[in-house]
Structure 1
Amino acid sequence: MSPKVSQAHKEKRRNEIIAAAKTVFIRKGFEKTTMHDVVEESGMSRGGVYQYFSSTEEMMRALMDQGEEAFTGQKDRLYEKYETSWGVLEAVVEAHNIVPMDPIGLVVYEYFVAGFREATKERTHYLKKRLHNVKGFYIDVIERGTAEGEFKPIQTPDVIASYLIILTDGLILHRNLGEEVETDISGLIEGLKIYLRNALGMQ
């Protein structure tokens, strides 16, 4: 009879595989990464990896789910730190000015673009659901600020949240194109904040 493996051990092994997959995704890109690549990077047996994931697609989704949980789950902590809805939005925007930025952002961008060209709709459905969740985070912050009289938006929360996502996605792309692409990231971030202050009726 084989020894019983604890849930904590399973979670640890799963996270180790996700970390290995992230390393390979960054090095090779999502589309070119194979299960064999991840098995080699993890140092585990083929069976040990397949026990947790059957494809790189599953690994990529697990990696993005971790990031989304960390992002959407930080709202209460951000309010504790910054107190106002504007403080929360500004902190999220300023996070894109951190150097160095996690290069996985470019891999996620690749996954999104490839996903919308898929013959099947499974990946597209997943990506739309994920986008909906992230947009919901921003809408909640905007609506809370409006209810408390902090904002008097001149556009709908949906439009403002969507625009915020589009611009921050663009920032991630520029930040990962390399030093040869000269972009004033700080200036772009300040421009985004100018838009938000106006759209939210703060000026």
Structure 2
Amino acid sequence: MNPKDRYQKERAEAKEQRQIHIIQSAKAVFLRKGIERSTMNDIAEEANIGIATLFRYFPKKEQLARLIVIQVLNETRDVFNQISDMQGTCLDKMDQLLDYFISFMNKDSNLGVIIFEDLLNGAMHSSLDVAQIEEINVVQRSISAEFNKIIMQGERDGTVRHDIQPSELLTTVINAFGLFSSKLSLHQNIPMLEADVEPRQQLMLMKQMILHYIQPPLCHEGEI
């Protein structure tokens, strides 16, 4: 490799590493403050770079936010895909999905919760154009498609109750559990009651309640 090519290669690699560093710094800021309340100055300080340098890489905070949102949603899609493709019954896969939501209690997973909250309340959508919103929607639809595979298995394998439409039943419990786990993750350090139950224990208890409820009634009779 001649000196000019080597220089160009090293320059491109340095630029890529700087970009990765900025993205990691933005994730740390978003984790502390949320996307909406974070500023470009916050991100520049976290990355230990000048604000002008940051703007050369990402002219707007929304560009950074969109990139990170897509990354986190793709990670979620991959988890849903792994679970939908695993060996086991629909009930086994619901068990794994509930465990995934319980993992939101881990500090490293809180960014996904914050992004989920921002998407839910429209904070992200208000700062994106139609094409950017559609890019996010495409990934969200792919997550739904993976979950639909699990629902379809539940309609066939008999491991979930059928007196309630499986699609309605499983969608409702996953949405409810996802919201509950997100709220507990965000507020786990704020005691709600004097004799409060530890958040993870609340989620484990609710998980068992859900798994018991979605099983066919005959399974419950067999336990007596």
Q: TM-score range by the shorter chain?
A: 0.7 to 0.9
Answer yes or no: is 1:15 the counterpart of 2:20. Answer: yes
Match of 1:88 among 80, 89, 93: 93
Aligned to 1:176, the other structure's residue is in SS state helix
1:134 is matched with: 143
Matched letter for residue 137 of structure 1: E
Distance (whole Å) between structure 1 residues aligned to residue 128 and residue 30 of structure 2: 22
Match of 1:164 among 149, 169, 174: 174
Q: Deviations over 1:147-197 (max 9, x none)?
A: 456556431526633541343122111222033133522222223323443
Could you tell me how far 1:132 is from its partner in structure 2?
Answer: 2.9
Higher mean C-alpha deviation, range 67-76 or range 36-45: 67-76
Could you tell me how far 1:34 is from its partner in structure 2?
Answer: 1.0
TM-score by length of 2: 0.68
Aligned to 2:36, the other structure's residue is in SS state coil
Alignment of 1:183-198 (within 5 A): 183=199, 184-197=202-215
Q: Would you say the 8 A contact 1:142–1:151 is kept in 2?
A: no
Q: Would you say the 8 A contact 2:29–2:38 is kept in 1?
A: yes
TM-score by length of 1: 0.74
Distance (whole Å) between structure 2 residues aligned to residue 173 and residue 23 of structure 1: 20
Runs (5+) with no aligned partner, structure 1: none
Runs (5+) with no aligned partner, structure 2: none
> How many pairs are equivalent?
202
Answer yes or no: is 1:104 the counterpart of 2:114. Answer: no
Q: Would you say the 8 A contact 2:84–2:150 is kept in 1?
A: no
Distance (whole Å) between structure 2 residues aligned to residue 93 and residue 4 of structure 1: 45
Q: Which of structures 1 and 2 has the bigger CA Rg?
A: 2
Higher mean C-alpha deviation, range 37-46 or range 113-122: 113-122
2:30 is matched with: 25
1:146 is matched with: 155
2:126 is matched with: 118
Q: Taking structure 1 as reference, are residues 44 and 96 closer, same or farther at Cα in structure 2, changes over 3 Å only?
A: same
Aligned to 1:185, the other structure's residue is in SS state helix
1:73 is matched with: 78
Distance (whole Å) between structure 1 residues aligned to residue 36 and residue 128 of structure 2: 16
Distance (whole Å) between structure 1 residues aligned to residue 79 and residue 101 of structure 2: 16
Q: Would you say the 8 A contact 2:44–2:51 is kept in 1?
A: yes
Alignment of 1:40-55 (within 5 A): 40-55=45-60
Q: Taking structure 1 as reference, are residues 30 and 10 closer, same or farther at Cα in structure 2, changes over 3 Å only?
A: same
Q: Deviations over 1:109-140 (max 9, x none)?
A: 44121438839774765665554332222112
Aligned to 1:115, the other structure's residue is in SS state coil
